[in-house]
Amino acid sequence: MVDFLRRFAVGNHGKDIGKTFVLEDESGTLHGFVTLAAASIDKSVLPDDLAAGLPGFPVPAALVARLAVQLPSRGQGMAEQLMQEAFRRILSASESLAIRLVMVDALSPDAARFWEKQGFIPAPSAPLCLFLPVATLRAANTSSKTP
Ligand SMILES: CC(C)(COP(=O)(O)OP(=O)(O)OC[C@H]1O[C@@H](n2cnc3c(N)ncnc32)[C@H](O)[C@@H]1OP(=O)(O)O)[C@@H](O)C(=O)NCCC(=O)NCCS
């Protein structure tokens, strides 16, 4: 993971190709990272529910390009923390840039199960490509702030 971050993530961050955020603890131990990028998706790829009412041009999206947790740190909620950080950043960006969906390209069926557990909906013709409406994130964020 450290090698990947050094070889690709730092350069891509600077080139505005992918923005990577790492999760470290107070001792500096690296637990994982998430990489975000702007994207767009053809409406025809979307599940019917998510495509309903949208115009015929590409739908603006935020891509979770990678999310990974170091092996020894898995099973302790680290991915959950990285995902919440990603969602927070996407919601913030969506206030000034139209983002209809969060989109992920899962690396494997096992990874797709992880995203489905988080509420993502697979594309009917490409089950490793999954989506979550930003409106769903916004609603969850609003209700969690309500006393
Ligand atoms: C998938 C991965 C990110 C999970 O990291 P993690 O830190 O172990 O996950 P967390 O401990 O935060 O788990 C969050 C929730 O996801 C669930 N989960 C974790 N891995 C899962 C999997 N492979 N399938 C289904 N659910 C999974 C957990 O049970 C937990 O659910 P709960 O809150 O109901 O208990 C990690 O295994 C990984 O880095 N894998 C390799 C890269 C990868 O597949 N990335 C994701 C897709 S691109």
Q: What is the mean pLDDT of residues 89-108?
A: 96
Please identify, by atom number, the ligand 1 atom nearest to the C-alpha of residue 104.
48
| Strands lying side by side in the sheet with 101-105 | 19-24, 30-41, 59-69, 101-105, 126-133, 121-123
3-state helix, strand, coil in the chain (%, to 5): 40, 30, 30
Mean pLDDT value across residues 59-66: 97
Site to substitute for ligand 1 among 29, 69, 87, most atoms within 8 A of C-beta: 69
Contacts of 130 (CB under 8 A, 6+ apart): 103, 104, 106, 112, 115, 116, 120, 121, 122, 123
Residue with tokens 């009412």: 53
Q: What pLDDT is recorded for position 8? A: 87
3-state secondary structure at position 81? helix
Average pLDDT, the chain: 94
Do the beta carbons of residue 50 and residue 70 sit within 8 Å? no
Task: Give the per-residue pLDDT at 146.
Answer: 62
Q: In the structure, what pLDDT confidence band is assigned to residue 79 with cuts at 50, 70 and 90?
A: very high
Q: What is the pLDDT of residue 139?
A: 93
Establish whether residue 76 lines the binding site of ligand 1, counting it when its CB lies within 6 angstroms of any ligand atom.
yes
- Ligand 1 touching residue 2 (CB < 6 A): no
The percent of residues above 90 in pLDDT, for the chain, comes to 86
- DSSP assignments along 31-47, one per residue: EEEEEEEEEEE-GGGS-
Q: Can you give the pLDDT at residue 143?
A: 76
For residue 68, which atom of ligand 1 is closest to its CA? 39
Q: Is the CB of 107 under 6 A from ligand 1?
A: yes
72 lines ligand 1 (CB under 6 A): no
Could you tell me the distance, in angstroms and rounded to a whole number, from the CA of residue 92 to the centre of ligand 1? 24
CATH class of 2-140: alpha beta
The more confident residue out of 7 and 92 is: 92
Q: Does the pLDDT of residue 87 top 70, yes or no?
A: yes
The whole-number pLDDT of residue 147 equals: 62
Which ligand 1 atom lies nearest to the CA of residue 112? Answer: 47
Residues 49-67: what's their mean pLDDT? 95
